[in-house]
Amino acid sequence: MLYLYLLAVIGAVTVGALMWRAFGPEKRPRSYRAAGGPLAPDDDPDFLRRLDENRRDQKRKDTDE
């Protein structure tokens, strides 16, 4: 009879641990962007702005010649 209770406690602890892993609080951010991590060039607004400025400057140089 004692083994049955021991088995029930072990099972309850195991189920509790699995539920905590599945539905517990996140320990790591969902994305790099949320964590302030590196951005890809096409996601970086400063890079896109500089690219657009360089393209406009090149276009002006080509039309001036």
pLDDT at 30 over 70: no
8 A C-beta contact, residue 20 and residue 14: no
Mean pLDDT, all residues of the chain: 82
Average pLDDT over every residue of 6-27: 90
What is the pLDDT at residue 16? 95
- What are the domain boundaries of the chain? 39-65
Indicate whether 32 pLDDT > 60: no
Q: What percent of the chain has pLDDT over 70?
A: 74
Does 33 score more than 90 pLDDT? Answer: no
- Mean pLDDT across 26-45: 65
